[in-house]
Copies of this chain bind each other. A is one copy, B any other.
Amino acid sequence: MSEHDGGLRARLIDVGVDLVTAEGVQALSLREIARRAGVSHGAPRRHFPTHLELLSAIARRGFEDLAALGAAALGDDTASPRDRLATLARVYLDFALTHRGMHELMFRHDLLRSDSLGLRETSLPVFALLTDLVGRVRPDADARLLAGSLLAQLHGIAQLWTWGSLQLTTGADDVEPLLRTALDAHLGTER
């Protein structure tokens, strides 16, 4: 009846993205998503055999959006590798703090099937770019290790900042100084 909008499968994902953005991860029950999509609680099963699969599809949308934001922010940027890394880092942190529910979902491995996330198509290229840029800023270091460390750094800041721990311990009320410190540590302080 109302399938002209592209099918139930896509509609369920859309509803899920809106829901997690507006109300957080705990609102993403299978039955609530079905309710908001206007179908019975058994309907999603036709398209997603299990709850995990549906949540994974929703999270996948998050990874895609994040990768798109990163690509857009760089654009045809001709800035220095160091500045481009700072841009990427800010995009990630901004995404995590703006879309808290989605970011939480994206790393709730107990709710996701990692092989349904399409990381190979979205996140891996971004990480390759990260590694390349890091290698150009610090030709002396092991680029893969340093890039991995930087990624973990950003993720940790996003997590602990959202959780509120870092505001207490650092006394700051803005992530920016922390981000600067982290970038300086990994990439050197010369600008």
Interface residues, chain A, with chain B CB atoms under 8 Å away:
24-26, 104, 107, 109-110, 114, 124, 127, 131, 141-142, 144-149, 151-157, 159-161, 163-166, 168-172, 177-178, 181-182, 185-186
Query: What is the chain B residue whose CB lies nearest that of A153?
Result: B153
Contact A154 B156 (CB under 8 A): yes
Contacts beyond the supplied A145-B172, A145-B181, A148-B170: 12 A-B pairs with Cβ under 8 Å? A127-B169, A131-B169, A145-B177, A145-B178, A148-B166, A148-B178, A148-B181, A149-B157, A151-B160, A153-B182, A156-B156, A185-B186
Closest partner residue, chain B, to A167 (CB atom) = B148
Among A159, A163, A170, residue most surrounded by chain B Cβ atoms (within 10 Å)? A170
User: In the assembled complex, how far is the CB of residue A63 from the closest CB belonging to chain B, in whole angstroms?
Assistant: 12
CB distance from A148 to the nearest CB of B (A): 4
**Distance, CA A169 to CA B148, complexed state (A):** 7
User: Are A170 and B145 neighbours in the complex by a CB distance under 8 Å?
Assistant: yes
- Output the least CB separation between A173 and chain B (Å): 13
Partner of A185, one of B25, B109, B185: B185
For the complex formed, measure the closest distance between the CB of A154 and the CB atoms of chain B, giving whole angstroms.
Answer: 7
A24 to B110, CA, bound (A): 10
